[in-house]
Amino acid sequence: MASVKLPESKIQELKEVCQKYDNKGSELINVLHGAQELFGYLPAEVQEIIADELNVSVAHVYGVVTFYSFFSMLPKGRNPISICMGTACYVRGAEKVLDEFKRILNVKVGETTGDGKFSLSCLRCVGACGLAPVVTIGERVYGRVSADDVKKILSEYA
């Protein structure tokens, strides 16, 4: 794993996140949420600082990070694409939409494009089943997406 040099100011902010939760090991998940908000992802160095601050082992932190799909150790693309794979979206053709994104962007699920522009992920039900299949890019929600729409959607981010 490539090592990341964290800026000192961010480390201070991270420590403040830990302090906000009284540096308690039992608050690990809240702290990780805060850290991911701060850095966009959870590189090893961040996890080591958290382990140190909360007085838990770094293996434990890593064990937790890898358990929950919300936490990521890879930086996300500038436009994170999520395909809803909830049942409603699935039966209405989400898989074809996903395949099309994979094909056009030439990435697998969980990866980021070489230029850092897009990252592709799946999620389980955003709760907009009425609009199935649903794709979200950043904050934007696209409903009733078909494989044919994919090119057009991506062109909005040219």
Partner 1 sequence: MDIVKLTIDDKPVVVERGTTLLEAAKSIGINIPTLCYMKLEDLNFENKPGGCRVCVVEVEGRRNLAPACKTECSEGMVVHSHTVRVINARRTVMELILSDHPAECLTCAKSGNCDLQSMAQKLGIRELHYKGEQSRYKGDKSPAIIREMDKCIMCRRCETACNDVQTVGVLSAINRGFESVVAPAFEMDLDKSSCTYCGQCVAVCPTAALTERDSTWKVVEAIVNPQKTVIVQTAPAVRAALGEAFGMEPGTLVTGKMVAALKKLGFDYVFDTDFAADLTIMEEGAEILDRLSRHLNGDKEVKLPILTSCCPGWVKFFEHHFPEMIDIPSTAKSPQQMFGAIAKSYFAQQLKKKREDLVVVSVMPCLAKKYECTREEFQVNGDPDVNLSISTRELANLIRNANLDFGKLTDEDFDHPLGESTGASVIFGTTGGVIEAAIRSAYEMFTEKKLEKVDFLELRGMEGIRKATVDFDGLPINIGIAHGLGNARKLLEDIKAGKSEFHAIEIMACPGGCIGGGGQPYHHGDVEILKKRQKAIYAEDAGKPIRKSHENPYIQKLYKEFLGKPLSDKSHELLHTHYFDRKSKIEVNH
Partner 2 sequence: MGKYKSHILVCAGTGCRASDCEGIVSNLESALEENNLNEDVQVVRTGCFGFCEKGPVVKMVPDNTFYVEVTPDDAGELVLEHLVKGRKVERLLYIDPDTKERISDSKHMGFYKKQYRIALRNCGFIDPENIDEYIARDGYAAMGKILESMTPEEATAIIKESGLRGRGGGGFPTGLKWEFTRKAQADKKYVVCNADEGDPGAFMDRSILEGDPHSVLEAMAICGFCIGADTGLIYIRAEYPLAINRLKTAINQAREYGLIGKDILGTGFNFDVEIRLGAGAFVCGEETALIHSMEGLRGEPTVKPPFPAEKGYNGKPTNVNNVETFANVPPIILKGSKWFSEIGTEKSKGTKVFALAGKVNNVGLIEVPMGISLREVIFDIGGGIKGGKKFKAVQTGGPSGGCLTEKHLDIPIDYENLLQCGSMMGSGGMIVMDEDDCMVSMAKFYLDFTVEESCGKCAPCRIGNKRLYEMLDKISLGKSTEEDLGMLRNLANVIKDTSLCGLGQTSPNPVLSTMDNFQEEYLAHVVDGKCPAGQCKALMHYIIDSHLCVGCTLCNRVCPVDAISGEKKTPHVIDSSICIKCGACLEKCKFGAISVQ
Rule CB under 8 A: choose which of 18, 83, 98, 132 binds partner 2: 132
19 belongs to the binding site for partner 2 (CB under 8 A): no
Selection from partner 2, partner 1, none that 44 binds (CB < 5 to 8 A by kind) is: partner 1
Among residues 97, 91, 106, 92, the alpha carbon closest in space to that of 136 is found at 97
Residue 70 burial by CB count (10 A; 0-12/13-18/19+): exposed, middle or buried? exposed
- What is the x/- site pattern for partner 2, positions 48-87, by CB under 8 A? --------x------xx--xxxxx-------------xxx
Selection from partner 1, partner 2, none that 14 binds (CB < 5 to 8 A by kind) is: none
Rule CB under 8 A: choose which of 73, 104, 109, 123 binds partner 2: 123
Write the CA distances from 73 to 22, 92, 120, integer angstroms: 24, 31, 14
117 Cβ contact partners less than 8 Å away, ≥ 6 residues apart: 77, 78, 79, 157
Residues that bind partner 1 (CB under 8 A): 1, 3, 5-8, 11, 44-45, 47-49, 51, 56-63, 66-67
Nearer CB in complex with partner 2: 75/93: 93
Tokens describing residue 31: 């702290």
Min CB(130)–partner 2 separation in Å: 3
Among residues 98, 30, 18, 102, the alpha carbon closest in space to that of 70 is found at 30
